[in-house]
Structure 1
Amino acid sequence: MNFRSLEDFWAFYMNQHSKASTRRWHFAGTLFSILFFFCSLLFSWWFLLLVPFSGYGCAFYSHLFVERNFPETLRHPFWSLMCDFKMFGFMLTGNMDREIKRLGKRPVLQVF
């Protein structure tokens, strides 16, 4: 698929993250990546090795076992990373449900 803008990709990205559990796994991975990045600045550069493993590990797990789709970061690495931080921001501020409604998508209800 070819996307003309980040906004076009964002709508597709959110469709690939329809389950709340998938978004939570991404949030956790992004949060750990940020924490490990700051630990590398404050303590030791070795923490940098944990940045991609924590972020991508949580994301890939959620796509393979929760959402059951293919991680788009392999096809569109830059836009996926940008949208991951955008989703992280919406979740951090409590605006994710509003954004899902704006895009015209219904969140998939889950027990977990």
Structure 2
Amino acid sequence: MAMAEFRSFREFYPYYLGEHRHPVCRRLHLLGSTLVLAVVLVAILTADWRWLLLAPVVGYGFAWIGHFVFEKNRPATFRHPLYSLLGDWVMYWQVLTGRRRP
């Protein structure tokens, strides 16, 4: 499905899930997202905002390894950055709440 065909996140999310079929890819996304939360927490607790520079590195780094090595596809972030970011956090929440397998 091309970018122009996604008129909403609701339309995009099934595509996003289809790009995350491999369990190792999903787990790497979860690890990266958890590390992003840890980095943000450290930045807040230390009042050193330079920690935030690591957030995209750990978040996207683990996710992209999952895509390039395990899914063998191109991360959705390159074409759909906002929907992809939202998809990461929706999938993260769904795994935490037991609605989706890690």
TM > 0.5 between the two? Answer: yes
- Counterpart of 1:85? 89
* Cα distance, 1:7 vs structure 2: 1.1
Alignment of 1:4-83 (within 5 A): 4-43=7-46, 44-83=48-87
Once the two structures are TM-superposed, the CA of residue 47 in structure 1 deviates from its matched residue by: 0.9
1:46 shift after superposition: 1.7
Cα shift readout 1:17-65 (whole Å, capped 9, x = no counterpart):
0111111000000010011011111111121011000000001000000
TM-score (norm 2): 0.91
Runs of 4+ in 1 over 4 A off after TM superposition: none
Shift in Å at residue 78 of structure 1? Answer: 0.4
- The TM-score normalised by the length of structure 1 is 0.83
How far is 1:95 from its partner? Answer: 1.1
Unaligned runs of 5+ in 1: 98-112
After superposition, give the CA deviation of every residue in 1:72-104 in whole Å (9 maximum; x if it has no partner).
Answer: 10111000000100000011111104xxxxxxx
Q: Aligned residues: percent identity?
A: 36
- Partner-residue secondary structure (3-state), 1:96: coil
Quick one: distance in 2 between partners of 1:10 and 1:27?
17
